[in-house]
């Protein structure tokens, strides 16, 4: 899969653009590890269930598996894999690849279903465009503009003081809430 330009381009298109240095602990070491963020695919190929993991030297066979048995067989493999992690672990997710629902909607003539699927894709395109954009520069310029206006109106000092007081109150509320939780008291969170 890593040799596919289309797959690599699609994957890299979702890399977060950031002017900040990334956490050095997130960089890959020379030795592959389970902690590296990557994709693993499970597929029934020639009546065998294979695990395709780019960090492994070759596909891993999980035994005989017809296309009809795939859902049941892959479930047990996934359960074993998830079972290796501590309870509550959330650093992985599962994505099922399936036929485009729009094709099915067109085949059965479901106009409303087709429109819902098209609406989803329009929303996805918008969200993906936002993910690809770096808003740090925009946010910085916006903050500079607000500060300039506050200074121009001679409101800067009072604005900062008011913000500090609000922050202090929020911190006090958090401390009180934590103390109440630690003491077993139930507190109103509104």
pLDDT tens for each residue of 107-160: 999 999 999 999 999 999 998 888 878 888 889 999 999 999 999 999 999 999
Indicate if the pLDDT at residue 25 is higher than 60. Answer: no
- Indicate the residue among 97, 119, 144 that finishes a domain: 97
Q: Are residues 81 and 148 in the same domain?
A: no
User: What does the pLDDT average to over 63-73?
Assistant: 93
Within a domain: residue 28?
Answer: yes
Structurally, how many domains does the chain consist of?
A: 2
Within a domain: residue 70?
Answer: yes
- Indicate the residue among 42, 70, 97 that finishes a domain: 97
pTM: 0.46
Q: How far apart are CA 64 and CA 118, in angstroms?
A: 38
**Domain boundaries, position 15:** 5-97
User: What does the pLDDT average to over 64-82?
Assistant: 92
- Indicate the residue among 97, 123, 148 that finishes a domain: 97
Closest CA to 144 of 116, 88, 152, 36: 152
Closest CA to 75 of 94, 59, 92: 94
């Amino acid at each position: 899969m890593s040799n596919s330009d289309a797959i690599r381009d699609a994957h890299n298109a979702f890399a977060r653009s950031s002017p900040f240095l990334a956490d050095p602990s997130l960089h890959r070491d020379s030795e592959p590890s389970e902690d590296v963020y990557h994709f693993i695919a499970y597929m029934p190929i020639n009546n065998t269930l294979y695990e395709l993991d780019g960090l492994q030297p070759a596909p891993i066979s999980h035994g005989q598996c017809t296309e009809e048995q795939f859902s049941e067989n892959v479930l047990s493999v996934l359960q074993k894999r998830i079972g290796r992690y501590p309870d509550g672990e959330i650093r992985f997710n599962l994505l099922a690849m399936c036929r485009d629902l729009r094709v099915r909607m067109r085949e059965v003539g479901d106009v409303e279903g087709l429109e819902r699927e098209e609406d989803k894709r329009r929303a996805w395109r918008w969200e993906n465009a936002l993910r690809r954009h770096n808003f740090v520069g925009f946010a910085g310029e916006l903050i500079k503009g607000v500060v300039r206006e506050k200074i121009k109106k001679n409101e800067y000092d009072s604005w900062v003081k008011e913000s500090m007081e609000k922050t202090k109150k929020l911190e006090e509320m958090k401390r009180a809430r934590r103390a109440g939780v630690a003491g077993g008291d139930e507190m109103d969170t509104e």
